[in-house]
């Protein structure tokens, strides 16, 4: 499936509006890996294939995802699906907590080893909680570009101010900050009011939206069957948005998603993803995950239509009114 590509920040990378988030390939290893149900290598391979067949051309993983198991699983799946290293666009991340910027260069060999010959198109600072300054982290990342280890630099969970500092630090080295990966969905639009979206647009930085389906909430399935959440692994069942009062508050958004979905022969989740990648022009891309082939196919189906401006605005209004 060929889908219109868009430029990642001010880079020369042309990416699909949706990428595949690969946290779920963690093999239940490590603290964050246990959030997901176990997937076999065959499962991973089929999910990657369904994503590629649906038009996705890039993949987001991280050092912390299964202590490298996600990187390894992704690389293995790409190889089994016949994807050449020159055709793969892979984004990974360095984990800063408890570390200084010097570990960025010390750990890059392991990132590349885990990826088994696939290059790192985008290397990201996973969060702003490291011991070193933004400037020192950006200097270390710039060194990796100049050493030929990575192609572009991004950040994740950075505020508007911190993103600007990262941008300026890289600019002094002659490089560009191309992305900021943050939580963003039709049910979580905080980056529109805290300056992050505005600053990204000003600087030409792409917003990569993670958790774009609000952990499955936008599907409407938890609103239809409130007992369903009790069967889920992980922390979702304890979150306010999945409790009775939270579901009541988000019901108007879900109702609107369902109504509009009928007009496009789509699902509410597909409409929610389409809204994310179109409401702000080309500024926002998204990385939904998938633990099943049908989920991967549903996700990519969100790139097969474009919501009208009327429907984009309609969803924008009803979700603006939503407050958890």
Share of the chain above pLDDT 70, in %: 98
State the catalytic residue, choosing from 35, 65, 210, 264.
65
Closest to 58 measured CA to CA, from 11, 10, 8: 8
The confidence score (pLDDT) of residue 205 equals 98
Q: Looking at the predicted structure, is the pLDDT value of residue 111 above 70?
A: yes
- 154-178, pLDDT tens digit by residue? 999 999 999 999 999 999 999 999 9
Q: What is the DSSP letter of 188?
A: B
For residue 218, give the 3-state DSSP assignment: helix
The confidence score (pLDDT) of residue 228 equals 85
Region 6-216+267-306: CATH code: 3.20.20.100
User: Helices marked H in 204-308 — which ranges?
Assistant: 221-224, 244-263, 268-279, 293-301
- 41-92, pLDDT tens digit by residue? 999 999 999 999 999 999 999 999 999 999 999 999 999 999 999 999 999 9
Q: Tell if the pTM clears 0.85, that is, is over it.
A: yes
Q: Where are the domains of the chain?
A: 6-216+267-306
User: Helices marked H in 131-264 — which ranges?
Assistant: 134-146, 160-172, 196-203, 221-224, 244-263
The confidence score (pLDDT) of residue 35 equals 74
Question: Catalytic site residue 65?
Answer: yes
* Helix 102-114 with 134-146: angle, nearest 10 deg: 50
The confidence score (pLDDT) of residue 299 equals 98
What's the Rg (C-alpha) of the chain?
A: 19
The confidence score (pLDDT) of residue 234 equals 66
Q: How far does the chain reach from its first CA to its final CA, in angstroms?
A: 37
Q: Looking at the predicted structure, is the pLDDT value of residue 31 above 70?
A: no
Least confident span in 219-228, 247-256, 281-290: 219-228
Mean per-residue pLDDT over the chain, rounded: 95
- Tell me if 51 sits within 8 A of 290, measured CB to CB: yes
């Amino acid at each position: 499936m060929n889908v219109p590509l868009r430029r990642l920040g001010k880079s020369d990378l042309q990416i699909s509006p949706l990428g595949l988030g690969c946290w779920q390939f963690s093999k239940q290893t490590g603290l964050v890996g246990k959030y997901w149900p176990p997937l076999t290598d065959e499962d991973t391979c089929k999910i990657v294939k369904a994503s590629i067949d649906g038009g996705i051309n890039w993949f987001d993983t991280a050092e912390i995802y299964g202590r490298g198991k996600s990187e390894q699983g992704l690389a293995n799946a790409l190889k089994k699906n016949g994807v050449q290293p020159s055709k793969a666009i892979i984004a990974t991340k360095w984990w800063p907590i408890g570390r200084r910027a010097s570990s960025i260069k010390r750990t890059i060999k392991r990132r590349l080893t885990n990826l088994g010959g696939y290059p790192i198109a985008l290397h990201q600072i996973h969060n702003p909680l490291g011991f070193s300054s933004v400037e020192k982290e950006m200097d270390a990342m710039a060194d990796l570009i100049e050493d030929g280890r990575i192609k572009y630099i991004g950040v994740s969970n950075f505020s508007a101010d911190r993103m600007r500092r990262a941008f300026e630090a890289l600019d002094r080295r002659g490089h560009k900050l191309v992305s900021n990966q943050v939580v963003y969905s039709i049910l979580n639009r905080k980056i529109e009011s805290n300056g992050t979206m505005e600053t990204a647009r000003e600087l030409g930085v792409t917003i990569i939206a993670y958790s774009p389906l609000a952990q499955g909430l936008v599907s409407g399935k938890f609103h239809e069957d409130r007992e369903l959440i009790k069967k889920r692994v992980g922390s979702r069942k304890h979150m306010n948005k999945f409790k009775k009062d939270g579901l009541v508050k988000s019901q108007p958004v879900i109702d609107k998603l369902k109504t509009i979905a009928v007009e496009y022969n789509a699902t509410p989740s597909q409409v929610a993803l389409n809204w994310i990648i179109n409401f702000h022009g080309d500024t926002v891309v998204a990385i939904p995950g998938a633990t099943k082939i049908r989920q991967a196919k549903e996700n990519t189906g969100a790139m097969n239509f474009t919501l009208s401006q009327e429907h984009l605005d309609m969803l924008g209004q009803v979700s603006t009114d939503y407050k958890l």
